[in-house]
Amino acid sequence: MRGTMLWFNEVKDLGFIQTEEGERLSVLGTGFAEGKRPEGRCAEAVVSFDLIVTDGGREAQNVVFIEEVSPRRARLRHRGGR
């Protein structure tokens, strides 16, 4: 399956993916293929994953980043007096 990362909290080791069908799935840090957890900003990154059913519901497993998100650029601020 494919989807988009919504967010991942490195401290809680938990994040969410939105599927192409619009379903939100949780993903644990151990759910990333080869242990490659996201570091820093990952929202809107395109991922592929397997869907598993657990006692707690449906989760993403074997998550792989297909398309990385480009880093945000710093905003320019206007100086006063103009």
CATH class of the region 2-67? mainly beta
Phi, then psi, of 33 in degrees rounded to 5: -60, 140
Q: What is the pLDDT along the chain (82 residues), one digit of tens a residue?
A: 999 999 999 999 999 999 999 999 999 999 999 888 888 888 999 999 999 998 989 999 999 999 766 666 666 677 665 5
Q: Tell me the residue type at 24.
A: R
pLDDT tens track for 61-80? 999 999 766 666 666 677 66
Phi, then psi, of 16 in degrees rounded to 5: -135, 145
The predicted pLDDT at position 49 comes to: 97
The predicted pLDDT at position 36 comes to: 87
